[in-house]
Amino acid sequence: MLGIAVLGCGAIGMQIIRALATGRVEGRVVCVHDLSEERARQAARLAGAEVAPGLEELLHCDAEVLVECASVSAARRVLLPALELGKQVVVLSTGALADPAILERVESFHGSRVHVPSGAVGALDALRAAREGELRRVVLKTTKPPRALEGSPYVVEKGIDLRGLKERSRIFAGSALEAISGFPANINVAVSVSLAGLGTRKTEVEIYADPAASRNIHEVHAEGDFGTFYFRTENLPSPENPRTSQLAVLSALALLRRLSSVLQLG
Ligand SMILES: NC(=O)c1ccc[n+]([C@@H]2O[C@H](COP(=O)([O-])OP(=O)(O)OC[C@H]3O[C@@H](n4cnc5c(N)ncnc54)[C@H](O)[C@@H]3O)[C@@H](O)[C@H]2O)c1
């Protein structure tokens, strides 16, 4: 059974730990770490795992797989060291892979694997297939309730008054690379879509705030030699974190299940 280390015991981490602890998904939680010691202790109790006092200890624990579900900056710190230690890494904070220098180093590893779950958006399998021909254009349009976008660096820097919005409004348009630096906790999906398709510089992203929205909506439009597709998900937020879609949690569980499966789909 795969030994798993979990970095981040928040909305995604706790649901992963619960699924592993109850046997819903195969795997054994060996070690957990969180900036909040209390959360880490609670997670460790649930899973019968150890608490790692820091990232170093987590990296060196006896696990084959490291699941990162903490933050883009935490992902940046563990990704390459984990690969150097020969671990497989599951990355939820995919914004870390937007940095071309990190991506290039990641791609230079042989034998190790970085797994990117489809997250809050589908369509990654179709994009990967489409880019085997000529993929000309990929646009991601994301709509969220204003409160889910509050505090993002772009919103703060531009002084956008989210609370004053009366209707659905476009608050950002740019590349996926610009999107992830302006909204590091909100738009990891832009990087996942980029990795599967045209890369972070050519993937176009639009972000909308909608006071009437109760769901996080992602629409992926793609055009290429294959034809066109349009893929729309209307995600309910995770009960623990309004910024995180429940589908992202489920996609991480599906990925962990796939690690131990003979049949690999998509
Ligand atoms: N790929 C996707 O589609 C997708 C979707 C949703 C969320 N995410 C990302 O996944 C990550 C987790 O999401 P969540 O909803 O569980 O967040 P959360 O805020 O509920 O939980 C994150 C946990 O990680 C801990 N943490 C943060 N930085 C840390 C660090 N440097 N070291 C140790 N612990 C740290 C926090 O204390 C918290 O307990 C976030 O980066 C989020 O942006 C990705």
Pocket of ligand 1 contains residue 34 by CB under 6 Å: yes
pLDDT at residue 33 in the model: 98
pLDDT at residue 186 in the model: 85
CA gap 15, 2 in Å, rounded = 17
Pocket of ligand 1 contains residue 119 by CB under 6 Å: yes
Question: Which of 40-49's residues contact partners 24+ apart within 8 Å by CB, and which partners?
Answer: 40/9, 42/9, 43/6, 43/9, 43/13, 43/14, 43/17, 46/14, 46/17, 46/18, 46/21, 47/17, 47/20, 47/21, 48/21, 49/6, 49/17
pLDDT at residue 185 in the model: 85
CB 132 within 8 A of CB 115: no
> Within 13 Å, how many C-alpha atoms sit on residue 136's CB side?
7
CATH class label, 124-235? alpha beta
pLDDT at residue 54 in the model: 97
pLDDT at residue 122 in the model: 86
List the pLDDT tens digit at each of the 266 positions of the chain: 899 999 999 999 999 999 999 999 999 999 999 999 999 999 999 999 999 999 999 999 999 999 999 999 999 999 999 999 999 999 999 999 998 888 999 999 988 899 999 999 988 999 999 999 999 999 999 999 999 899 999 999 999 999 999 999 999 999 999 999 999 888 999 999 999 999 999 999 999 999 999 899 999 999 999 999 999 999 998 888 878 899 999 999 999 999 988 998 88
Pocket of ligand 1 contains residue 239 by CB under 6 Å: no
Q: Which of 33, 110, 115, 218 is catalytic?
A: 218
pLDDT at residue 266 in the model: 81
Give the global pTM. Answer: 0.93
The CATH code for residues 3-115+247-259 is 3.40.50.720
Helices (H) and strands (E) in the chain, counts: 11, 13
Residue 96, both tokens: 């870390």
pLDDT at residue 100 in the model: 85
Q: How many angstroms is it from 247 CA to the middle of ligand 1?
A: 15
pLDDT at residue 163 in the model: 93
CB 125 within 8 A of CB 266: yes
Q: Where are the domains of the chain?
A: 3-115+247-259, 124-235
Q: How many angstroms is it from 74 CA to the middle of ligand 1?
A: 9
pLDDT at residue 110 in the model: 86
Q: Where are any strands of DSSP class E within the chain?
A: 3-7, 28-33, 50-51, 65-68, 88-91, 114-115, 135-144, 169-175, 204-209, 216-224, 227-235, 237-238, 241-245
